[in-house]
Structure 1
Amino acid sequence: MAETFEARRARLMGPNVPTFYRNPVHIVRGQGVCLWDAAGKRYLDCYNNVAHVGHCHPRVVEAIAAQAAVLNTHTRYHHDLVLDYIERLTATLGHGISQAIMVCTGSEANDLALRMAQAATGKTGIIATDNTYHGNTAAVSQLSTRRPPIGGRAPHVRLVPSPETLAPLGGSAEAQPAAFAAHVARAIDELEAAGFGFSGLMLCPVFANEGLPAVGPGFLDPTVAVVRRAGGLILCDEVQPGFGRVGSHFWGHDWLGFAPDVVTVGKPMANGHPVAACLARPDVMAAFREAFGYFNTFGGNPVSAAACLATLDVIEDEGLQAQAAATSAYLLERMRALRHGRIVNVRGVGMFFGLEFGGDGAGDFAADLVEDMVARGFLLNRIGRGGATLKIRPPMVFGRAEADLLADALQAALDAA
């Protein structure tokens, strides 16, 4: 009997390698907002933020191929492109953030951010929310809540309750900002009392993995005041919301209205080429460079830098941030018109959307709906506590026509549920 694809995968990659969907999709080709499987079926991609400017964008593909034919080496030699890119990227940032370390994954970038906070403060205590994900190195997996670390969470880590939409901290949306800040203040006191001290707070400015709760500009102000009084750093994970995805602003932290000390970026910055970066103010970077010897063989290589530059060009030339704002408003309107007895909340920030379900077995209902949508040719997923929220996060080239296709399919799937 011929070996199945699943059996071959397990034989070569080991057990329990994550895949999306009960019947994993075997993707062989992508273009723009669409993906095709091995049987030729086309899917509308409503989920992949990695292909930020669309799958296989010809300008990014051309930049990668052209640079690979000329030079690809590392930053222990001088080359221009990495410097050109850091200048372009930091020009989009304020708050004194003007320097960067180029790496290959968001996990690496967040790992560096933790070490920057340690170097700048001389302390080790770190805080994140209790329903998040910041990567899978040994250090950042201590913050990620998908699976508990072997041996338990490290004693220098504190996880605080994440903001919520249906059950907000403090009992109301109005009380939630102060309540979140109070939890952070309590965690800081615990870390100081335990002798670790407080180095920083790491968060995603739209709380994407927490389920995209209904927070808005100013939400973090009380927390920022608490962190500043304690002398800690704010480490802002922009891997998901960055590069114009929130529509109104290029960066999620500018939308939420706070000044980070360190910003990490990854997935979308080179449209799928494996690139990430940790950006910081010069004083924070200097502290890190003094405390740690760090070099990344592939980080900042010329091919990656060319892909990054081309991606920025496409975002600007095609007006994708403005398109995200317009598409967001339209799709949010269509989603709010969806009808089903289990829908309890619809929310969105730019090209992020959450459709939350309630009642017993809400997570199972959302899981079944995801599978139905895949069968109909639409790729999305679920997130939040209990997995009861559909997470929709398409490439930035997703437009009004695609929004109509998605909304119509969602209503059809809800009618059939």
Structure 2
Amino acid sequence: MSLETLPKEETLRLREQHIGKSCTLFFKDDPLKIVKGDGQYMYDEIGTKYLDCINNVAHVGHCNPHVTRAAARQMSLIYTNSRYLHDAMVIYAKRLTQYFPENLSVCYFVNSGSEANDLALRLARAHTKHKDVIAVDSAYHGHLTSIVEISPYKFENIKGHKKKNWVHIAPLPCNYRGKFNKDKYDDDEVIGKLYANEVAKLIENAHEKGRAIAAFISESMLSCGGQVIPPKGYLKEVYRLVREAGGVCIADEVQVGFGRIGSSMWAFQHPNNDVVPDIVTLGKPIGNGHPVACVVTTPEVAASFEALGAEYFNTYGGNPCSMAIANAVLDVIEKENLLKNAANVGSFLIESLEKLADKYQVIGNVRGCGLFIGVELVRERTSKRPAGHLAEWVVRRFRDERIIMSTEGKYSNVLKFKPPMTFNMEDAQNWITVFTSIMKQIETEEVSSSSSSSASTSSVDSLFSSCEELA
């Protein structure tokens, strides 16, 4: 039986039989079977069209014609390992590094963001001769064993897992819900400084125990933490502290790079950050879904790694097909001016969402820039009690309207928005229209959705309760 004719029920049966139970699906009670993509849209097995608002992997759009042609053309010529000379790799490395500060000029190509972050740790330790790593609470940097150890988003949910003594976790620098927030402090720079002081304490405690810091690693904007933009000056001060302690600074741009924030190619260049890392990791959007990723670093760090004596060899990292695809993705970003699109559409969305937040009390906070946006839902604004189950209900209502959304954050109460960069103004207007209708439904306390509850509710409390029963 061909895949095209496999009934959805049979797909589910075979998945249940042969795929590990830890491999989860969106909409577990009724998962989508997606068989086709086109730009910012995806289609299920019966042809239903969905607007994709979360797939930051298909950066320049699902099945982008220019990218798929480049892949097919190269695969028809040669698809081999990276120990042979090939123009595509060096051309791409030259193009890519032109987007970085001058000293970030050396590339290592790998297969995934997880591999990129693993290699970044090796580079940092080779250069500093230290071991310890400072990461941020709620961070996710990948699924390799070495990277799970510095990903609280993952290891905090592993039964019996104990944080390693070489790992130090800094508070999530969130100016809405975090330890230091806008309710207590008016100045975002003050908040940034206070969070940076927490990193200073970690460094001091490590030194008191005879340990030494190899690296600080953080996404330049924190996605799994709930679509968080660091407070102004936070990363700059943390980078200074870490370097003074003999460590290096790693910027994880796997989810937020390649122009997603609209104002610049990399999120570390955002005005709140304005830093130059020692190592940058890239993945996901670099190949528009093809397994390719990259570590970009300085000649000095690269020389320290080379001095260890062992060669670095990655069979598929930087193979001709991957590099042809990566070059094609850059072509589309440049020729279609996708940074400007992200800036314009993102500004419209944030402005519209802020207006909705003025009206609907369940919208506790709107944050983000470009096509990286988070909407935090709360039970009520004074306590900021997270409304995780309500957020899940909202996601299901979006699905009813043929829009794919998801949640993020420690309490799963943040609606995350990271669509393909081809998401346009018409899509944004449609999204706002649907979200407004969902907010009105919550406000009028009339919930009788076929995908949520079987009866209408009569109060906000019962609405939250009914959502909890569904989650």
Common topology (TM > 0.5): yes
Aligned residue identity for 1:405:
N
Give the deviation of 1:143 after TM superposition.
1.3
Residue in 1 that maps onto 2:368: 348
CA distance in 2, matches of 1:6, 1:165: 42
Give SS of 1:7's match.
helix
CA distance in 1, matches of 2:17, 2:209: 45
Residue in 1 that maps onto 2:406: 381
Aligned residue identity for 1:331:
L
Superimposed CA distance per residue, residues 130-165 of structure 1 (whole angstroms, 9 cap, x where no aligned partner)? 111000111110111233255412110011111113
Give the deviation of 1:335 after TM superposition.
1.6
Between the two proteins, what is the percent identity of the paired residues?
36
TM-score of the aligned structures, taking structure 1 as reference length: 0.96
Matching of residue 37 in structure 1 with residue 59 in structure 2: no
Q: Mean alpha-carbon deviation: is it higher for 378-387 or for 397-406?
A: 378-387
Q: Mean alpha-carbon deviation: is it higher for 348-357 or for 331-340?
A: 331-340
8 A Cα contact 1:168 1:176, kept in partner: no
Give the deviation of 1:232 after TM superposition.
0.8
CA distance in 2, matches of 1:200, 1:406: 40
8 A Cα contact 1:102 1:277, kept in partner: yes
Q: Mean alpha-carbon deviation: is it higher for 73-82 or for 4-13?
A: 4-13
Aligned residue identity for 2:294:
A
Superimposed CA distance per residue, residues 230-285 of structure 1 (whole angstroms, 9 cap, x where no aligned partner)? 12111000011111111111111111200100000000011111100111001101
Aligned residue identity for 1:266:
G
Matching of residue 304 in structure 1 with residue 322 in structure 2: yes
**Correspondence list, 1:8-407, <5 A:** 8-22=14-28, 23-148=30-155, 151-170=161-180, 171-172=184-185, 173-215=188-230, 217-255=232-270, 256-291=273-308, 292-338=310-356, 339-359=359-379, 360=385, 362-407=387-432
CA distance in 2, matches of 1:161, 1:141: 18
Aligned residue identity for 1:314:
V
CA distance in 2, matches of 1:68, 1:413: 46
Give the deviation of 1:69 after TM superposition.
0.4
Give the deviation of 1:389 after TM superposition.
0.9
RMSD: 1.6
Give SS of 2:416's match.
strand
TM-score of the aligned structures, taking structure 2 as reference length: 0.85
Give SS of 2:289's match.
coil
Give the deviation of 1:192 after TM superposition.
2.5
Aligned residue identity for 1:312:
L
Give the deviation of 1:361 after TM superposition.
5.5
Give the deviation of 1:191 after TM superposition.
2.4
CA distance in 2, matches of 1:189, 1:12: 49
Higher relative contact order (CA 8 A, sep 6+): 1
Q: Summarize the Cα distance change of 1:228–1:147 in structure 2 as closer, same or farther, 3 Å threshold.
A: closer
Superimposed CA distance per residue, residues 323-370 of structure 1 (whole angstroms, 9 cap, x where no aligned partner)? 111111111122222242211111121111111111256011111111
Give SS of 2:395's match.
helix
CA distance in 2, matches of 1:246, 1:278: 20
Aligned length: 416
Give the deviation of 1:208 after TM superposition.
1.8
**Unaligned 5+ runs, structure 1:** none
CA distance in 1, matches of 2:386, 2:418: 24
8 A Cα contact 2:137 2:171, kept in partner: yes
CA distance in 2, matches of 1:201, 1:119: 14
Give the deviation of 1:415 after TM superposition.
2.1
Give SS of 2:23's match.
coil
8 A Cα contact 2:175 2:231, kept in partner: no
Aligned residue identity for 1:355:
V
Superimposed CA distance per residue, residues 4-37 of structure 1 (whole angstroms, 9 cap, x where no aligned partner)? 4333212111213111123211100000110001
Give the deviation of 1:189 after TM superposition.
2.1
Give SS of 1:28's match.
strand
Superimposed CA distance per residue, residues 67-95 of structure 1 (whole angstroms, 9 cap, x where no aligned partner)? 00011111211111111111110111005
